[in-house]
Amino acid sequence: MPTRKVEFQFITGLKRSIFRNARLRGSWNANGRYSADWTESPMQKTVGEDGCPVFKASVSLDLADQGTLFRWGVVVDDPQGNNLWGIPTEIPDMNSADRYRQFGLTPGSSAQIERYYLTYGRRLGANKHFATATSKPGLRFAVWAPNARSVEVVFGKPLNGHIADDGTGIDAAQPVVTLSRGADGMWQGGPPGNFASFMSLPYMYRIVNAGGDTVYRTDIFSRSQIGRGGIKPPDGAGWTGTVDQLDGTVSCSVVIDPDVVRRTFESTAPGAAPDLISAEEFWTTEFTHGRPVPNRLEDLVIYELHVGSLGFGKTGAGDLSDAMSFLDHLVLLGVNAVELLPMAEFSGNVGWGYGDSHPFCIESSAGGRDKYRHFVRECHRRGMAVIQDVVYNHYDNDAERAQWQYDSTAPEQNIYYWYEGRSSDYAFPDGGYLNNGSSGYTPRFWEDVVRQQFISSAAFLTEEMHVDGLRVDLTQAIHRDNTLNADGRSIGSANLFGQKFLREWSRTLHMIRPTTILIAEDHTGWDAVTQPPAQGGLGFDGTWHVAFYHDLIGDSDMSGDRARLLKRAGLDGIDPLQMDWFAGSLYDTQYRRVVFHESHDEAGNASGTARTMVVAVNDAPLVDATRMAAESRSRLSFGLSLLSAGTPMFFMGEEIGAQKRYTFNGFLQHREDILGERTGNGKALFRFYQDVIDLGRRLESVRSHNIDILHQSNANRVMAWKRWDGAEQVIVAASFNNAPFANGYVIAKDALAIPDAGWKEVLNSDAVIYGGQNVGNSGAIIPSSSGQLEVVIPANGFVVLIKQ
C-alpha cells in the first residue's frame, strides 16, 4: 500500500535554547498504520525560519488510513533533565483537558507538514525570516484575519506615524506588501530586501474586510507602537501632529528587532545612529554577586508601584526614567520585589493601564521596550524581582484600530471577542457579547490565536524582558463570571474555555521558565486556582487574599459585615472588635496567599476607601496626638500583614504615611512626595517599615507557611500567633486596644504551642525610634511555662518575640 510522508515540526518561537532530546509520539505503529498504542521516535533539533530552535521528525504513514484522524505530540527534556509533555494546548472541547494534536492524511506528492507552535510571538507580526540557516534575514509579516478579502502592508512616515482611513499618511516611497492567505486565516508575506533596511519603519495592515470596506489596522503582535502621546485623531481623520503627541494605540506599529537593545537608557540624539547591542550582551551584566534575585513566592516582600504616579513635581505622568530614579528608595526600604501596574500599550498617556490594546508593547509614553529592559536589569542588579501586572479579561475600551472589528463589522465575526450565536438572535447587536465583571467584553477564549496573544505576550515578558513573575487581573472574570450581555445569564462554555486558557497559560510559562512566579487576583476562594493543572487546577503559585484586607482594614463599601478592624478602631471607641474573624483570615494566609493592607484599588479609588493613615483615625486631621494614633495603627496594620504566613505586599507611599486618595482619574493631582516625606514627616514610619521588612526577610520562620493562632480576644482587641520553621519559633502579640497592657497580658494555649523557654523581644512597634511611647518589654527575655507567656503589649501595636 502506498504511504504518505509526514513531517512534524515542534516550533518553539523562543530564541533561547530551552529544550533538548525531543521525541515525537504518535498514534501509529512501526508499519505506519494507525494504532491506539503510540510509538516514539527521536526528533532533530535545527534552526527554524524565525531563527529559533525547531525540532523535526518525519514518519511515513499508510494511505490505507486516509480518513482516519491521527494524534501526535512531543516529549522534551527541560534543562534539569525532566521529561515534559511539550503540548500545553488542550483540545478544543470544553469538557476535556486532553492535550494532543490531530490530523488526517491529505493527497499530494510532497511531504505533508504538521506544525505545532509553542508560542506565536515570532509567528505573527513583523519578524525576521531566514530563508536558510546561514542567510541574512528578510522581513516577513503575518496577521490573523480569517474574514478578510485581502490584506496588504503599507508603510507610514516616521515623523508622522499615522495613516488615516482614507490612506493619508502612507509613505509612497516604500513598497506596498501584498500578503497571501493560508488555510488557517493567517496572511503572510514580505517585501524584497533584508530585514535591516526596514528597521524602525512604521506600518499598518490595509484590510479589505468581510463587507468589502477598506480599513487600516495596527498589528496586535507588534512590539512597538510609534505614538508616544495621548491624542487620537477624530474618526480616522488625517494627522498633522508629531509622534510625541499621537496616541500609541491608533498609531502605526513599528518594525523592531527583538534581538538587540539600546546600549544606554536614554535615546541617542536626533539624527544619530542608535547604539545597539545584542540582547545576549545586554543581559550579561544582569546580576550582582551576593545579591540573588528571589524566585520563590514566599521569599518576597512586594512593593506595588504605579510608574505613572512617580515624578512628583512634574506636570505629566511618571515614566521609566522616574522609576529608575526610584530604585534606590526601594533598596533603602528593603523590599525585594516590585510589582508594576500594567505597562502594555493603553489608550492615552495617563492611566492605570488596566485594559490594553497591544500586549507585546511596553507603553510608549512610559519609555517603551528598551527602557523597560534597562529597568528590569537594574532591579536584578539590586537583588529585586520584577512582577508585571497583566490584563486578559478585556481589551482597551477604544480598540477600533486594534482588536475591535479587526476584519469584519458583523458582531459574530468580531474575531477577538466572544459572541454567542448570531446578531439576528438579539434585539440589539451587542446582545451576544459577554460581560464578566471587568470593564469590557470577554475575549474569544475558544480561539487559539486569541489565547496565544496572551500566552505568547507573557512568554515575551519572561524571555525578552526577563520579568520574574506575572500577576493576572481579576481571574474570576475569565473562569467564572461570564454572562450574556442581552439578559445576564451565565455562559458556562465561556467559563470552561477561560479555565482552559489559564491552564494553557500557566503550563506554557512554567514549561519555559519553571521559576516564573504566577499570581492571580482571584476573589472566589476556589482552591483550584493554586493547584497544578495536572490536578485540575489553574496553575497559579499564589492568589490575592482580599478577605484579609476586608477583615484587617475594611474601609471599602464592599467590606460588608467583615471584621473591619482598622475602620472600626478608627472610630476611637472601646467596643469589642472581631479579632476572631480576622484570626480566620490570618490563619488562611498559609494557603499560598498574597496579603496586603493596601493595594491600588483600596487606596482611595474603590468606594469608601482611603489611605491607611486616614482610615486609622476616621479622616481626622493628622496633627499631634491624632497623628501619633494614626501612625501607631498604620504600623500595626503593616505588621499584621508582613508577619502573616502569606506573601506581604503594599502599595507605594504607605511606607511614609501617604494621605492623599489614589484614584484612576486623579492620581496626577494627588501625587505624594515620597522621597521628600522619607526624610520629613514620614521618617519614623519609614524606619519602622525598614526594620519590619528586614526582620521578615531574615527569619525563616516568618517566610514559612507555618502559623498557629495562640490567642484572640474580641473584648480586649488582642490576638497572638506563632510562626516557625524548624527550631526557629516566633510569637507575635498584637493589640488594637487604645490602652497598653503595660503590666502584662497572659497568652495561653498548651505546652506544644508555647513550649517552656525564654522568649526575647526583637521588635516593638511602639519603640521611640518609630514615633511610639516605648511601651514594651525593653528587649527582655520573657520566660514561658506550662503553655503560658505574659507579655507587655503596647496600645495599637505589637511585639515580636523569638524563642531562645
So which residues are the catalytic ones? 473, 521
Binning the chain into helix, strand and coil, the percentages to the nearest 5 are 25, 25, 50
CA distances from 140 to 46, 165, 675 (A): 20, 24, 47
Give the span between the Cα atoms of 161 and 246, in whole angstroms.
8
Q: Which residue has the cell 551576593?
A: 290
Beta-bridge partner residues of 73: 25
The secondary structure of 432-496, three-state, reads HEEECCCCCCCECCCCHHHHHHHHHHHHHHHHCCCCCEEEECCCHHHHCCCEECCCCCECHHHHH
Best CA proximity match to 464, nearest among 606, 338, 368, 531: 368
Q: What is the maximum alpha-carbon separation in the chain?
A: 95
The secondary element (H helix, E strand) that includes residue 261 is: strand 260-262
Q: Which residue has the cell 509622534?
A: 243
- In contact, 189 and 183? CB cutoff 8 Å: no
Give the span between the Cα atoms of 458 and 287, in whole angstroms.
22
Question: What is the number of alpha carbons within 13 Å of residue 26 lying toward its C-beta?
Answer: 30
Best CA proximity match to 21, nearest among 74, 71, 73, 60: 74
Instruction: Report the Cα 563 to chain-centroid distance in Å.
Output: 30
Best CA proximity match to 280, nearest among 150, 403, 377: 377
Give the span between the Cα atoms of 121 and 453, in whole angstroms.
8
Q: What radius of gyration, in Å, describes the C-alpha atoms of the chain?
A: 29
Q: For residue 288, what are the contacts with CB-CB under 8 A and spacing of at least 6?
A: 380, 381, 382, 383
Instruction: Report the Cα 776 to chain-centroid distance in Å.
Output: 41
Give the span between the Cα atoms of 101 and 91, in whole angstroms.
8
Give the span between the Cα atoms of 615 and 638, in whole angstroms.
13
The 10 Å CB-count burial string (b at 16+, else e) for 126-139 is: bbbbbeeeeeebbb
Three-class SS state of 153: strand
Q: E strands within 14-172?
A: 20-28, 34-42, 44-47, 53-62, 70-77, 83-85, 101-103, 112-117, 125-129, 138-144, 150-155
Supply the DSSP symbol for 584.
H
Three-class SS state of 503: helix
Supply the DSSP symbol for 247.
B
The answer to whether the Cα torsion of 171, 175, 176, 182 is positive or negative is: negative
The secondary element (H helix, E strand) that includes residue 509 is: helix 492-512
Give the span between the Cα atoms of 722 and 138, in whole angstroms.
62
